[in-house]
Amino acid sequence: MSKSQLAITPVQECAPSPVVRPPLSAEAAVPLAAVFKALSDPVRLRVLSAVASRADHEACVCDLSEGIDVTQPTISHHLKVLREAGLLSSERRASWVYYRVEPAVLQQLSTFLADTVPGSDR
Name the pTM for this structure: 0.78
State the average pLDDT for the chain.
88
Q: State the CATH class of domain 29-116.
A: mainly alpha
Confidence tier at 26 by pLDDT (50, 70, 90): very high
Higher-pLDDT residue of 20, 110: 110
CA nearest to 42, candidates 63, 65, 68: 68
Task: Compute the distance between CA of residue 87 and CA of residue 101 in angstroms, rounded to an integer.
Answer: 6
Domain boundaries, the chain: 29-116
The residues facing 96 across adjacent strands are 93
Res 120 pLDDT > 60: no
Res 12 pLDDT > 80: no
Sheet holding 58-60, edge to edge: 58-60, 96-101, 88-93
